[in-house]
Amino acid sequence: MSNLRPAAFLDRDGVLIREVNYLRRPEQVRLLKGAAQAVRLLRRSGWRVVVITNQSGVARGYLSLSTLARVHARLRRELRDRGARLDGLFVCPHGPRDGCACRKPRTALIKEAARRLKLDVSRSYFVGDTTTDLKTARNAGCVGLLVRTGKGGRDGRFRVRPRRAFKNLAAAARWLAARGYWKGF
C-alpha cells in the first residue's frame, strides 16, 4: 500500500471564501457558509485539504505578494478560529499572458503540492466553481467536482463537465467523506 494520500484540492474564491472581484485586503476574506465545517469534515475523513488558486491581482498590481500573504494568514486564522486547518495553500501570482506553468488550468501547483505533501493525485478530487478548475482537474489526472457557489461553472472558458455538482463545499465534503479517501474512484 502506498504511503501517498489523496487530496481534496479546493479553489479559493467562490469555493472556500466569498467571491470578490480581485480581493485586495485581508478584511475582505469571508468564509462561505459551511466552509470551515467542510474542511474539518474532510480532514477528519482522512483527506489532505489543499487550496490551489490563481491570484493574477498580484501581476496586475492590485495587491502585493506581502498583502496576499496577509490575506492568506487571515484565511488560515478564520479557519483555525472555527477548528479547521488546511494542509497546504499554493498560489499562482502570474497574469493570464505570463505563460507560467503554475496558472490553472496548468498543473505545476498540483505537482508541487503532491511532491511536498506526498499526495496521490490519481486518487484526488478538485473542488471548484469554474470550468478552469474542472479543466485543471482533468489536466492533473484527478476528478473534478463543481460547486454552485461563486461562479457556479458559468464562466464558460472550457467545455468540460464535472463528475458531480453540489450546492456548496459543505455538500461536496459530505459526499467525499461518505465515499472515503481509501476507496479511490
Residue-wise DSSP of 4-56: -B-EEEE-SBTTTB---TT--SGGG--BPTTHHHHHHHHHHTT-EEEEEEE-T
Classify residue 146: in a domain, yes or no. yes
Tell me, what CATH number does 113's domain have?
3.40.50.1000
On whether the pTM is more than 0.85, the answer is yes
Q: Which listed residue (13, 87, 129, 133) is catalytic?
A: 13
Number of domains in the chain: 1
Catalytic (active site) residue 11: yes
The whole-angstrom separation of Cα 72 and Cα 109 is 16
Mean pLDDT value across the chain: 95
Q: Does residue 185 carry a pLDDT above 50?
A: no
Task: Yes or no: say if 140 and 5 are a contact pair by the CB < 8 Å rule.
Answer: no
Range of the domain at 69: 7-180
Instruction: Please report the pLDDT score of residue 180 as a whole number.
Output: 72
At 15, the amino acid letter reads V
Instruction: Please report the pLDDT score of residue 183 as a whole number.
Output: 52
156: left (phi over 0), alpha (psi -120 to 50) or beta: left
The whole-angstrom separation of Cα 98 and Cα 154 is 24
What are the cell numbers at 145?
467536482
Catalytic (active site) residue 13: yes
Classify residue 185: in a domain, yes or no. no
Classify residue 42: in a domain, yes or no. yes
Instruction: Please report the pLDDT score of residue 182 as a whole number.
Output: 54
Q: Which listed residue (11, 87, 129, 133) is catalytic?
A: 11
pLDDT band at 97 (very low <50, low <70, confident <90, very high): very high
Place of cell 467562490: 14
Classify residue 76: in a domain, yes or no. yes
What DSSP designation does 122 have?
A: G
